[in-house]
């Protein structure tokens, strides 16, 4: 009983919206070497996002191309794996949630049932992603991107798009874009998870 009370006390500060928050580990971004597409579409990038906490992932390819001195074109090019993921252009401070998606509050880049025209972005922007397992779309995340100059050799003459940071939320109703959980919150979540495993083993 004492262990159970400790577990409840540890979980309470981390139970925002009933979600598990994971920063900078469950969303990956990297360029893809496909020279035949570079001239037409720009640089091809692959985004890989975990659909659950155990690493079952889905992917989406993006084409990124410079169109002016400070503007770039970003669009989805190829869908891969599993239940797929829906991507949106969002801003820091947005409440990225199911309600916002259904209310068309965000610019769509790709959804599982529709391809959208490429969007124009600047040198610093955010993307939101919504995914999940089967019909449950209860995974929300955001990623912060910046454009940096990259000397040759590189697969494109365009500047390079890097992911600065990202946060994923599992089992909740949404996420605030640009907000990274404090290290203490992450530590408490880890302790709670370990305590839960310990309780189960004792039973």
Q: How far apart are CA 193 and CA 185, in angstroms?
A: 12
Mean pLDDT along residues 196-201: 42
List pLDDT tens digits, range 127-166.
999 999 878 889 999 999 999 876 655 544 557 899 999 9
Secondary structure class of 78 (helix, strand, coil): strand
Average pLDDT of the chain, as a whole number: 78
The answer to whether the beta carbons of residues 177 and 92 sit under 8 Å apart is: yes
DSSP label at 177? T
Q: Is a pLDDT exceeding 60 seen at residue 56? A: yes
Alpha helix locations (H) across 60-132?
A: 98-102
pLDDT value of position 106? 97
Give the separation between CA 187 and CA 7, rounded to whole angstroms: 13
Percentages helix, strand, coil for the chain (3-state, rounded to 5) are: 25, 45, 30
d(CA 143, CA 23): 10
pTM of this prediction exceeds 0.85: no
């Amino acid at each position: 009983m004492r262990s159970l009370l400790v577990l409840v006390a540890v979980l309470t500060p981390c139970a925002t919206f009933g979600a598990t928050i994971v920063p900078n580990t469950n969303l990956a971004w990297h360029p893809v070497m496909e020279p035949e597409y570079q001239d037409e579409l720009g640089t091809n990038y692959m985004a890989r996002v975990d659909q659950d906490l155990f690493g079952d992932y889905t992917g989406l390819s993006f084409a990124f191309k410079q169109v002016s001195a400070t503007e770039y074109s970003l669009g989805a090019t190829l869908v891969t794996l599993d239940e797929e993921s829906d991507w949106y252009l969002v801003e820091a401070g947005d409440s990225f949630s199911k309600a916002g998606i259904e209310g068309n509050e965000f610019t769509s880049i790709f959804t599982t049932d529709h391809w959208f025209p490429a969007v124009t972005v600047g040198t610093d922007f955010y993307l939101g992603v919504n995914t999940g397992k089967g019909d449950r779309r209860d995974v929300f995340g955001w990623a912060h991107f910046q454009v940096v100059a990259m000397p040759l050799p590189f697969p494109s003459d365009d500047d390079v798009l890097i992911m600065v940071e990202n946060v994923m939320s599992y089992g909740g109703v949404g996420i605030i874009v640009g907000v990274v959980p404090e290290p203490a919150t992450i530590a408490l979540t880890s302790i709670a998870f370990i305590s839960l495993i310990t309780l189960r083993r004792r039973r």
